[in-house]
């Protein structure tokens, strides 16, 4: 009996080789965190400018203590999905606090931000005829909207005229349309025009889904993002894995929307509940963050200073307005070379290349945190001046 060789290995090799040829092949890197700012990588101790731990809470003793406390009291695992036997008073208390901090009726905790965005948008497909996403929204949002089965459209980044025109062209409005955006964009570091978006949504009748992953902990009166209170959105989403220094994600919404997601969102229904250790660290973060106004002010001032200095050096920072500062170089190889140069100067800052960012916009993405000191910033700026002199 003759057999036909499988084409699968060749297909795998071809896909990987295509990425190699474009200098866009992703690889895992092993590193050891030393503290909130420094890591050990390839035998070197480096200042980390690629962390989303924006308040330095991942190493905070209070988060560690509360995590250990919850583990001793409740064990290391939840044992089941929340709809089975994994729900408890820890979840319910945290969700009550989240709703209060975000100015909503209710909140619902998920295991990860990707899982939340992807599966919530799938669940909303039963309620909506269309989902319109900002073109630079996170992949989890774009993929969720595409997989939902609803009519899917991307509008030009932060362009409300384009959004209005695309909304007007939708065939009928017998179902609610959802418009999706990030409040702080994770790759460019700029802000969505939230006030104008809110006004437009009320005028035209669409609902807003706002991803606050990179704003949670960093912005807002109580540190819970740019939509923390008063802002009218059907869904305010955030994560605990960045500014909160922990893990997991949440939706802040109406009680009716929470009830709907509990019943129709597969990413919630079929996922094992978060372990008590994680819930303990979230509990500690939500206690600390509203009182960390001085850390937020330090991060804001430092980010503004770094953006100003890099702009004067002639670097393209896209439209960054936040602690996320992209050094857009365009070419994938140049982004790699800049990252390697910074490594030689004792700085860890990774290149971001297509398909994570659009073609022709490869960059080294800098992330500043409240744990960075003046000496760390001085080190970074000195390295960037040296790169500019070397390049010229």
What is the residue extent of each domain of the chain?
25-55+293-391, 59-290
pLDDT at 24: 78
Of 122, 372, 95, the residue nearest 253 (C-alpha)? 95
- Whether the CB-CB separation of 144 and 122 falls below 8 Å is answered with yes
Residue pointed to by tokens 């084409």: 7
Greatest pairwise CA separation for the chain in angstroms: 75
Structure tokens at 201: 């949504």
pLDDT tops 90 at residue 74: yes
Structure tokens at 19: 């990425």
DSSP track, 96-117: HHHHHHHTSSEEEEES-HHHHH
Three-state SS string across 220-276, please? CCCCCCCCCCCCCCCEEEEECCCCCCCCCEEEEECHHHHHHHHHHCHHHHCCECCCH
Could you report the per-residue pLDDT of 226-270, keeping only the tens digit for each?
998 889 999 999 999 999 999 999 999 999 999 999 999 999 999
**Residues near 103 by beta carbon (within 8 Å), at least 6 away in sequence:** 228, 229, 230, 231, 252
**Residues near 256 by beta carbon (within 8 Å), at least 6 away in sequence:** none
Distance CA 28, CA 19 (A): 15
Helices H, strands E: what count in the chain? 13, 14
pLDDT tops 70 at residue 363: yes
Of 238, 232, 247, 233, the residue nearest 117 (C-alpha)? 238
Q: Residue 128 — pLDDT band, cuts 50, 70, 90?
A: confident
For 300, other C-beta atoms within 10 Å of its C-beta total: 16
Question: What torsion, rounded to 10 degrees, do the Cα atoms 86, 87, 91, 92 define?
Answer: 180
Same fold, 25-55+293-391 and 59-290: no
CATH level 2 (architecture), domain 59-290: 3-Layer(aba) Sandwich (3.40)
Distance CA 41, CA 11 (A): 33
Could you report the per-residue pLDDT of 2-40, keeping only the tens digit for each?
555 566 678 888 888 888 888 878 888 888 989 889 999
Q: In this structure, which CATH number among 3.40.50.300, 3.90.1150.10, 3.40.1410.10, 3.90.1300.10 belongs to the domain 25-55+293-391?
A: 3.90.1150.10
pLDDT at 22: 83
What's the burial of 78, exposed, middle or buried (CB within 10 Å: 0-12/13-18/19+)? buried
């Amino acid at each position: 009996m003759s057999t036909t060789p499988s084409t699968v290995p060749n297909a795998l090799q071809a896909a990987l080789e295509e990425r190699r040829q474009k200098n866009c092949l992703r690889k895992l890197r092993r590193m050891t965190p030393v503290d909130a700012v420094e890591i050990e990588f390839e035998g070197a101790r480096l200042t980390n400018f690629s962390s989303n731990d924006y308040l330095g809470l991942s190493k905070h003793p209070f988060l560690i203590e509360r995590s250990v406390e919850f583990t001793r009291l409740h064990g290391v695992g939840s044992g089941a999905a929340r709809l089975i036997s994994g729900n408890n008073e820890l979840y319910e208390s945290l969700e009550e606090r989240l709703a209060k901090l975000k100015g909503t009726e209710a909140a619902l905790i998920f295991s990860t931000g990707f899982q939340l965005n992807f599966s919530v948008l799938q669940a909303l497909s039963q309620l909506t005829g269309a989902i319109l996403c900002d073109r630079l929204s996170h992949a989890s949002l774009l993929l969720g909207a595409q997989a939902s089965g609803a009519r899917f459209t991307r509008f030009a980044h932060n362009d409300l005229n384009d959004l209005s025109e695309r909304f007007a062209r939708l065939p009928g409005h017998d179902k609610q349309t959802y418009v999706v955006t990030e409040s702080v964009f994770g790759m460019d570091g700029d802000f969505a025009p939230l006030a104008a978006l809110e006004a437009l949504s009320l005028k035209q009748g669409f609902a807003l889904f706002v991803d606050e992953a990179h704003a949670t902990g960093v912005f807002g009166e109580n540190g819970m993002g740019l939509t923390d209170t008063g802002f009218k959105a059907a869904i305010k989403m955030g994560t605990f894995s960045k500014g909160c220094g922990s893990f997991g994600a949440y939706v802040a919404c109406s009680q009716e929307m929470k009830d709907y997601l509990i019943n129709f969102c597969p990413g919630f229904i079929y996922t094992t509940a978060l372990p008590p250790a994680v819930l303990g660290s979230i509990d500690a973060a939500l206690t600390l963050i509203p009182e960390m106004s001085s850390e937020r002010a330090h991060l804001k001032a430092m980010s503004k200073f770094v953006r100003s200095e890099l702009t004067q050096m002639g670097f393209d920072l896209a439209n960054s307005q936040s602690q996320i500062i992209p050094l857009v170089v365009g070419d994938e190889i140049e982004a790699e070379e800049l990252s390697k140069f910074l490594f030689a100067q004792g700085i860890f800052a990774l290149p971001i290349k297509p398909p994570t960012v659009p073609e022709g916009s490869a960059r080294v993405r800098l992330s500043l945190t409240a744990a960075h000191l003046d000496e760390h910033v001085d080190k970074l700026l000195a390295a960037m001046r040296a790169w500019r002199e070397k390049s010229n």
